[in-house]
Structure formats: structure tokens, C-alpha cells
């Protein structure tokens, strides 16, 4: 199983033992469910602010949560997708801050909480849920089965506590010192509270800024694959008899509507229309405008990911498309923001402010003329 792990937060220092244990838990789920060896899952650690934004955008709940799952395919009989080299299962987003809080609250420390959240989320990717009582019982049993392979099931923890031996599972890479500190860290004095509050206030601006950037760059794998498939398909229709460089673009609106476009060349080269512009113009013709265009993916047959020309970047900026995915025909993708694609860009308000000043000058000139007459 391929696990793509990324720690995109700087609030909590995650020990290597926790990451190792987390991966072991995910592989235990994969083994118990007989997933293909080429199955791929992405795991990202974020802070509370980032996961709050994602929770609001995708679930309509404006508050932090501990973990989110974005399955590439949903349902109990998961159809793994991908080429001959990989099967994409989905994305797991975990709040490191929540893992610390909950590990302390439950008395088993960060490592066990982190692996539990990973196992729980992995089961969601495989179609499990806990909305109904029967489904919840089934999912809980699957969690316990996977955690038991690491000596970390709730039953095993309860038995250890009964023996007054909470650290009996040290051989599973639980950090003894970390667990001990978690057990003893019930510091509720006014000084400790004030320090934590001051630290949070100090990092608030940094966290919110990082959250906004991470939000823009966090796109569910299912959405990325949908856009890439559409762009590669329309690319086949590109009219490029001069450059022989075929480009395809796929544009997703905030309402979930998909538009595509390909490049159309002309012997008078200046009349060539790029794929990105064709996709955007098609969306505009269908009634969508600035603020309604969400994600644009552009793909071509390049060694690295392809990029957009200067004219396309300005058109993208005109309609405020904040998330752009640069891709190639091999499936490589890079997500960039509009600020990264075109910093210090010319904006509509710049023109409007100039026009406003010009109109004010003309009005004043007219008044002077009237007075002179």
C-alpha cells in the first residue's frame, strides 16, 4: 500500500513514532480488507483552523473537527480507480491539535489517538459509516480488529488499565515519555491558561493566513480526477496544425457545473485562442461570471506540468478563479493559487478607480466650462 503523508501544520511537533504507527494502522486496515498492494491513500496533518474551513466548505459545519475523509469512490463496495501503476482510494485530513486534545482527554496519548483517527477515516474511505446503530456497530468492530493487530484496541487498553499497566504496548512504538506527559499534563492554573491563550493569539494571524492558502490548495482527489479526465478528453479535439501542441482545460463552477475547452490555432497566430480561455468563455456564455468559477485545470503533453501563458493568466484573474491545477497527460498535477500564478496583477478595481477619477475630472471640467460661458 502506498501512503502519501504530509505534515502541513506547525502547531504540534509530531514524533516519528506517531507517524510510523499511523502508517501501520492504515496498512492493517488494507490487509484486513484485502486491498490491492498498489492502493494509494493520502494523509495530511493540518491545524484546527484549516480543518474548520474544510469542514465548513464541505459539510456546512463551521467548527473544527478531528478528521475528514474524501473518498474517490463512495459506497461499501469501493471501486478503486487509477492506471496500471496505482489505485487511488482517497484523502485523509487530520487535525493534529485535535489528536493531542483527544489523546489527553482519553488518557492514551497522541500516538494512539492519531492511529485511531487514521483507521477510522480509512474505514470511511472504504464505505463504512456510523449514522445508524447497526452500521456503527459494524464500523466499531472493524476499528477494533485493525487496532488489535497493534495491541491498541479499546479492549486491550481497558485490560491493561485494569492491570495498572497503561504502557504495556510500548513495543508498538508508543512513546512512553509522551504518554506519561499527557497523563500528567492537567495543568489548569491561570498562568498556564494565560500562556496558552497568548500563544494562540500570537499565532492567530499566521494560522489564518496559512489556513486560507491551504484551503485553496486542498482539492479532493475525486474532483481532481474528474477535472483531469475531462481536460484530457477535450484535448483530443484541439486544433493545433501549426504548433502540434494540444492543450485541454476543464473548469468547475461553484455550483458543480463542468465546462471544457481546447486550444484553437489560426494561421494568423494572434487569433489563436487558448484552451483556458475557451473553457472560461464557454462558462460565461452559459451564464456564469466572476465569483462563480471555482477550479480550472489545464493539461498538455509536457514532461513537467504545463502552465498558462500571460494572456490566460490575466483572463483567469479577470474572473477570480482562485484555484488552478497545472497538469500533464501522465497525471502529474500541481495546485497553485491565483496569487502564485499572477502576483501584482492588474485588477478590475484598478480600471474602475481610474475611470472614476477620469469621470470626476471630466465633470469638474464641464462645470468650469459652464461657469466660464
Question: Does the pLDDT at position 371 exceed 90?
Answer: no
C-alpha cell at 80: 478503486
HEC letters along the chain: CEEEEEECCCCCCCCHHHHHHHHHHHHHHHHHCCCCCCEEEEEEEECHHHHHHHHHHHHCCCCCCCEEEEECCCCCCCCCECCCCCEEEEEEEEEHHHHHHHHHHHCCHHHHHHHHHHHHHHHHHCCCCCCCHHHHHHHHHHHHHHHHCCCCCHHHHHHHHHCCCCCCCHHHCCCHHHHHHHHHCCCCCHHHHHHHHHHHHHHHHHHHHHHHHHHHHCCCHHHHHHHHHHHHHHHCCCECCCCCCCEEEEEEECCCCEEEEECECCCCHHHCECHHHHHHHHHHHCCCCCCCEEEEEEEECCCCCCCCCHHHHHHHHHCCCCEEEEEECCCCEEEEEHHHHCCCCCCHHHHHHHHHHHHHHHHHHHHHHHHHC
Question: Does the pLDDT at position 243 exceed 60?
Answer: yes
CA 164 to chain centre: 42
Cβ pair 43, 92 in contact under 8 A: yes
Domain boundaries, the chain: 2-217, 221-342
pLDDT in tens, 183-238: 444 344 444 545 555 555 555 555 455 555 555 567 888 899 999 999 999 999 99
Q: CATH: 3.40.50.360, 3.40.390.30, 3.10.310.30, 3.30.160.270. Which one for 2-217?
A: 3.40.390.30
| Spatial distance between the Cα atoms of 307 and 336, rounded to a whole number of angstroms | 10
pLDDT in tens, 337-367: 988 888 877 665 655 555 555 555 444 444 4
Residue with the larger pLDDT of the pair 55 and 298: 298
Domain 221-342 has CATH 3.40.50.10320: no
Supply the mean pLDDT for the chain: 80
| Spatial distance between the Cα atoms of 62 and 317, rounded to a whole number of angstroms | 28
pLDDT in tens, 138-196: 999 999 999 999 988 888 777 766 655 544 443 333 344 444 444 444 344 444 545 55
Say what the pLDDT of residue 169 is: 41
Amino acid at each position: 500500500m502506498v501512503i502519501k503523508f504530509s505534515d502541513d501544520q506547525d502547531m504540534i511537533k509530531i514524533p516519528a513514532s506517531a507517524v510510523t504507527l499511523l502508517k501501520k494502522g492504515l496498512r492493517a486496515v488494507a490487509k484486513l480488507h484485502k486491498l490491492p498492494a498498489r492502493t494509494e491513500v493520502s494523509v495530511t496533518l493540518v491545524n484546527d483552523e484549516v480543518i474548520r474551513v474544510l469542514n465548513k466548505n464541505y459539510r456546512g459545519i463551521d467548527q473544527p473537527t478531528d478528521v475528514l475523509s474524501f473518498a474517490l469512490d463512495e459506497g461499501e463496495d469501493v471501486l478503486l480507480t487509477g492506471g496500471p501503476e496505482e489505485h487511488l482510494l482517497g484523502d485523509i485530513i487530520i487535525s493534529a491539535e485535535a489528536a493531542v486534545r483527544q489523546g489527553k482527554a482519553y488518557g492514551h496519548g497522541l500516538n494512539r489517538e492519531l492511529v485511531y483517527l487514521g483507521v477510522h477515516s480509512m474505514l470511511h474511505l472504504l464505505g463504512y459509516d456510523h449514522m445508524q446503530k447497526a452500521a456503527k456497530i459494524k464500523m466499531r468492530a472493524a476499528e477494533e480488529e485493525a487496532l488489535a493487530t497493534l495491541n491498541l484496541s479499546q479492549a486491550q487498553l481497558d485490560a491493561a488499565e485494569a492491570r495498572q499497566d497503561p504502557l504495556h504496548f510500548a513495543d508498538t512504538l508508543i512513546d512512553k515519555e509522551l504518554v506519561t506527559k499527557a497523563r500528567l499534563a492537567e495543568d489548569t492554573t491561570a498562568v498556564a491558561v494565560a500562556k496558552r491563550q497568548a500563544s494562540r493569539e500570537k499565532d492567530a494571524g499566521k494560522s489564518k493566513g496559512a489556513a486560507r492558502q491551504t484551503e485553496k490548495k486542498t482539492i479532493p482527489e475525486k474532483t481532481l480526477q474528474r477535472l483531469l479526465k475531462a481536460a484530457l478528453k477535450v484535448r483530443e479535439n484541439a486544433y493545433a496544425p501549426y504548433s502540434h501542441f494540444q492543450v485541454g482545460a476543464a473548469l468547475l463552477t461553484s455550483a458543480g457545473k463542468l465546462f471544457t475547452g481546447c486550444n484553437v490555432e489560426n494561421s494568423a497566430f494572434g487569433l489563436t485562442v487558448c484552451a483556458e480561455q475557451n473553457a472560461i468563455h464557454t462558462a460565461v456564455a452559459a451564464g456564469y461570471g466572476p465569483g462563480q468559477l471555482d477550479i480550472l485545470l489545464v493539461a498538455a503533453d509536457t514532461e513537467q506540468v504545463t502552465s498558462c501563458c500571460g494572456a490566460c493568466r490575466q483572463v483567469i484573474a479577470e474572473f477570480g478563479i482562485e484555484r488552478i491545477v497545472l497538469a500533464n497527460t501522465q497525471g502529474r498535477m500541481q495546485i497553485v493559487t491565483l496569487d502564485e500564478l499572477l502576483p501584482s496583477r492588474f485588477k478590475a478595481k484598478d480600471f474602475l478607480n481610474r475611470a472614476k477619477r477620469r469621470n470626476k475630472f471630466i465633470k469638474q471640467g464641464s462645470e468650469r466650462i459652464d461657469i466660464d460661458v
